[in-house]
Amino acid sequence: MRSSAPDAPDSVKILIAGGFGVGKTTFVGSVSEVDPLSTEAPLTAASEQVDDISKVAGKTTTTVAMDFGRITLDRIVLYLFGTPGQDRFWFMWDDLVRGAIGAIVLADTRRIEDSFAAVDFFEERATPFIVGLNQFPDAFSYSDDAVRDSLELRPDTPVVRLDALDKKSCRDALVALIQHRLGPSMTTTERAGHQ
In a domain, residue 5? The reply is: no
Domain that holds residue 93: 11-43+60-192
In a domain, residue 53? The reply is: no
In a domain, residue 130? The reply is: yes
In a domain, residue 104? The reply is: yes
In a domain, residue 183? The reply is: yes
In a domain, residue 3? The reply is: no
In a domain, residue 100? The reply is: yes
pLDDT tens by residue, 21-56: 899 999 999 999 988 776 655 545 555 555 555 555
Cβ atoms of residues 55 and 110 within 8 Å: yes
Measured between alpha carbons, how far is 36 from 82 in angstroms, rounded to an integer? Answer: 10
Measured between alpha carbons, how far is 137 from 150 in angstroms, rounded to an integer? Answer: 21
SS3 of 75-128: CEEEEEEECCCCHHHHHHHHHHCCCEEEEEEEECHHHHHHHHHHHHHHHHCCCC
The top-scoring range by mean pLDDT among 5-14, 47-56, 159-168 is 159-168
Number of domains in the chain: 1
Cβ atoms of residues 180 and 158 within 8 Å: yes
In a domain, residue 54? The reply is: no
Instruction: Look up the CATH number of the domain holding residue 107.
Output: 3.40.50.300
Percent of the chain with pLDDT over 90: 51
